[in-house]
Amino acid sequence: MLESIRADLLQWFANHARDLPWRRTRDPYAIMVAEVMLQQTQVDRVIPKYHAFLAAFPTVETLAAAPTAEVIRLWAGLGYNRRAVNLQRAAQAIVAHHGGRVPDSIAALRSLPGIGPYTAGAIACFAFEQDVAFLDTNIRRVVRRLCVGPDQLVAPTDSELLAHAEALIPPGQGWTWNQAIMELGALICTATGPACWRCPLRQHCRAYAAAVAADEVLATTVAAPALKRVAEPRSNEPFIGSRRWYRGRVIATLRALPTGTALPLSELGRQVRPDFSPNHEPWLQQLVSDLARDGLLVITEQGVRLPE
Instruction: Verify binding: residue 207, ligand SF4, rule CB under 6 A.
Output: yes
Q: Which residues contact 132 (CB under 8 A, 6 or more apart)?
A: 106, 121, 124, 125, 174, 178
CB of 142 to ligand SF4, least distance (A): 5
Distance of closest approach, residue 189 Cβ to ligand SF4, in angstroms: 3
| Shortest Cβ 202–ligand SF4 spacing (Å) | 4
Cβ-based nearer residue to ligand SF4, 230 or 272: 230
Amino acid letter at 140? R
Q: Is there a contact between 45 and 77 (Cβ–Cβ < 8 Å)? A: yes
212 binds ligand SF4 (CB under 6 A): no
CB 250 within 8 A of CB 297: yes
Q: In angstroms, rounded to a whole number, what is the distance separating the alpha carbons of residues 274 and 110?
A: 42
Q: Decide: is 142 part of the binding site for ligand SF4 (CB under 6 A).
A: yes
Q: If binding is defined by CB under 6 A, does position 38 make contact with ligand SF4?
A: no
The interface region with ligand SF4, picked from 24-32, 100-108, 141-149, 159-167 by CB under 6 A, is 141-149
Closest separation in Å from C-beta 167 to ligand SF4: 16
Among 114-122, 128-136, 138-146, 161-169, the segment contacting ligand SF4 (CB under 6 A) = 138-146
- Residue 201 near ligand SF4 by CB under 6 A: yes
Q: Which of 102, 133, 199, 298 binds ligand SF4 (CB under 6 A)?
A: 199
Q: Is 168 in the site for ligand SF4 (CB under 6 A)?
A: no
What is the number of helices (H) and of strands (E) in the chain?
16, 2
Q: For residue 221, count other CB atoms closer than 10 A to its CB.
A: 12
DSSP secondary structure of 24-75 = S---HHHHHHHHHHHTSS-HHHHHHHHHHHHHHS-SHHHHHHS-HHHHHHHT
Closer to ligand SF4 by Cβ: residue 123 or 184: 184
Could you say which of 145, 164, 229, 305 contacts ligand SF4 (CB under 6 A)? 145
Q: Does 230 bind ligand SF4 (CB under 6 A)?
A: yes
Shortest distance, CB of residue 227 to ligand SF4, whole angstroms?
8
Per the residue annotation, which of 35, 61, 216, 237 is the catalytic one?
A: 35
Q: Would you call 263 helix, strand, or coil by DSSP?
A: strand
- 180 or 188, CB closer to ligand SF4? 188
CA distance linking residue 298 with residue 111, whole number of Å: 25
If binding is defined by CB under 6 A, does position 196 make contact with ligand SF4?
Answer: yes
Position 85, amino acid: V
The CA-based diameter of the chain, rounded to the nearest angstrom, is 70
- Distance between start and end Cα atoms, the chain: 56
Please say if 129 is a catalytic residue: no
| Among 12, 208, 246, 276, interactor with ligand SF4 by CB under 6 A | 208
- The phi and psi torsions of 193 (rounded to 5 degrees) equal -145, 65
Give the single-character DSSP code of 23: G
Which residue numbers are catalytic?
A: 35
> What residue ranges bind ligand SF4 (CB under 6 A)?
142, 145-146, 188-189, 194, 196, 199, 201-202, 205, 207-208, 230
